[in-house]
Amino acid sequence: MYILNYLTIFDVFSEFMVFTNYFKTMKKQAAAAIPTQWGTFQMIAYSDDDKERMPHLAIVHPAMNVQEDVVVRIHSECLTGDLFTSKRCDCGEQLHVAMEMIAKEKGALIYLRQEGRGIGIINKLKAYNLQDDGLNTIDANTHLGFEPDARHYDPAIQILQDLGITSIQLLTNNPLKVEAFEKTPIQVNERLPIVIPAHQDNHAYLKTKNDLMGHFLNL
């Protein structure tokens, strides 16, 4: 009887924790103007609290007009590609093309801190070793015990809502990103392709994205 009561209280407590987490929402923590080679943007940091060292970021054109479709890129962090211009993937080049588009179309880029499709940099480097041994990008992640793509887009939707954006043109080749907006208050009115030419170092990676992950890359 005692054990039963203990379990019941524990269950109620866990349910409560799940419930409160579900309603935990991010807040705008700080914002500043950032001049870049593509122009000056407002960078806004979002997190649950101001102690967060890896907040998600919104990079917003100062003349963005939320009364019209906003051109939006949702970019997941790829330290190797974005910062060190790794040629194993197309992330760095995609980020730069997206920044050009955001500058031209007065849009917004949401930078989500989910490195390596959500598995983190340590596991990403381990996955690269497996790929060097012949596995593709999906099998390497599965081999390490992860989903092929562990990314989640809920934070991006929360950020877009906070920015007052209701309808967008989404810069992506990834059908999962378009699907992520179904049953959300954000309307995707168009998908704008963001195609990076394949080269020797990224060809196998892009081919896997095209053939096995449903990305629209025409390879």
95 binds Zn ion (CB under 5 A): no
101 binds Zn ion (CB under 5 A): no
Among 45, 56, 81, 202, binds Zn ion (CB under 5 A): 81
C-beta of 66: minimal distance to Zn ion in Å? 30
Name the active-site residue from 151, 154, 191, 201: 151
C-beta of 89: minimal distance to Zn ion in Å? 3
| Separation between Cα atoms, residue 187 and residue 204, nearest integer Å | 33
Q: Which stretch binds Zn ion (CB under 5 A): 52-60, 85-93, 179-187, 193-201?
A: 85-93
149 is catalytic: yes
2: its two tokens:
């005692």
C-beta of 81: minimal distance to Zn ion in Å? 3
Q: What is the side-by-side strand order in the sheet with 39-47?
A: 27-36, 39-47, 56-60, 108-112, 70-76, 167-171, 187-192
What are the DSSP E strand ranges found in the chain?
A: 27-36, 39-47, 56-60, 70-76, 108-112, 167-171, 187-192
| Separation between Cα atoms, residue 6 and residue 64, nearest integer Å | 54
| Separation between Cα atoms, residue 45 and residue 70, nearest integer Å | 19
CA separation, residue 200 to residues 197, 206, 207 (Å): 10, 10, 11
Among 26, 91, 99, 168, binds Zn ion (CB under 5 A): 91
89 binds Zn ion (CB under 5 A): yes
Residues near Zn ion (CB under 5 A), total? 4
End-to-end CA distance of the chain: 64
73 is catalytic: no
Q: Which stretch binds Zn ion (CB under 5 A): 29-37, 50-58, 69-77, 78-86?
A: 78-86
- Which residues are part of the catalytic machinery? 149, 151
Q: Interface with Zn ion by CB under 5 A: which residues?
A: 78, 81, 89, 91
